[in-house]
Amino acid sequence: MDDAMEDEAESQTIAEEVPIAGVFNPPSVNNERVLSGESYTHLSAVPATLIADMSTECVLGVDEAGRGPVLGPMVYGLFYLPLPLHHSLLAQTHHFDDSKVLTPTVRSDLVSTLCSPSTDLYQHCGWATRTMSARDITAAQLRANGAYNLNAQAMDATIDLIQQVLDQGVNVREVYIDTIGPPATYQKKLERVFPSLQVTVAKKADSLYPCVSAASVCAKVTRDAALDVLYSTYARPEEQGVVAWGSGYPSDARCTSWLKGNMHPLFGWGNECRFSWGTAKELLESKGAPCRMDWPKPEEDGDNMKLTGFLTEAEEEEKEDGMATWFGRRVAAEVF
């Protein structure tokens, strides 16, 4: 993990990233999977209006939430709807915008509306999320056979989400994505994967294209709700909805204080922590109790034999000593 990325969050962003009490719990949050540290994908049903006419051309947007924090998952959100409704329904009627511009309450209300069957958002729009757990992000970045960096993980999550929507039969024509690197390079990669789609990758796409804004809102609300679930294992009765680790960003004093105060000397933290982040690694190295583990290298001289090896060896010895059993086997004196 690049340390510079950990320090990107400014004070205003940190304040906006703190989960609020009573956030809407969307169907994209699976409590059991979140607590177990599992990464998973949620796909909404294809809207009834699109099922009635699958030839309807759609626009699709992708954005993420939680790229920089040391705590909690990174969530990729996807949002699609018919092209003619792109601006009128999202921007004019429901006022979707970059999730960082909207208040937590507004974001929560928008996703709640999206999940209500009687609303126009539910009837015309589809969405999906990919929740990438802190545990899996860490495991990928610390792989012994070569790091699977965060940009590569993000690219694969984006491709997988788009492909799953296409597999549902949705007639996607235009795709807009908030970049995770140089826009031109990212766009060329996606165009090679999806040659039939009109792909646009841009900086600040979440404030330029309403479908990307909606995707960012779905991702952010899903992450906030997942953080609530993760914190529930630590919450004290007197806290009453307060998340003591704050935003989860390393530059947030509440986050670093919580990490220091809740660090196990051997295991560190639970599935909520990205151990590959510099903040976590430094705390483990400097604040950990004398529980350093030195793992022995595997022996290559055959000393570490399996149980079957001992049994085979005993059989061989018995065969070699065949004369000793020619006239029968000895029995103990107790038999007589």
List, as residue ranges, the binding site for a divalent metal cation. Answer: 63-64, 178
Decide: helix, strand or coil at residue 14.
helix
Strand order in the sheet with 40-43: 40-43, 126-132, 74-82, 58-65, 172-178, 198-202
Binding positions are: 63-64, 178
Dist. CA 78–CA 327, nearest whole Å? 81
Dist. CA 138–CA 258, nearest whole Å? 19
**Strands 126-132 and 40-43: what pairing?**
antiparallel
Residue for token digits 């296409």?
A: 166
Dist. CA 130–CA 148, nearest whole Å? 17
Dist. CA 74–CA 64, nearest whole Å? 7
Give the other-Cβ count within 10 Å of 105's Cβ: 12
Residue 262 contacts residue 268 (beta carbons within 8 Å): no
HSE at residue 159, side-chain half, CA atoms within 13 A, is 16
106's enclosing H/E stretch is helix 104-114
Write out the two tokens for 239: 């806290």
DSSP string, 154-172: HHHHHHHHHHHHHHTT--E
Kindly list the distances between the CA atom of residue 320 and the CA atoms of 147, 302, 323, in Å, as whole numbers in the listed order: 52, 22, 8
Dist. CA 72–CA 54, nearest whole Å? 37
Dist. CA 307–CA 39, nearest whole Å? 37
Write out the two tokens for 261: 């105060």
Residue for token digits 């004070």?
A: 11
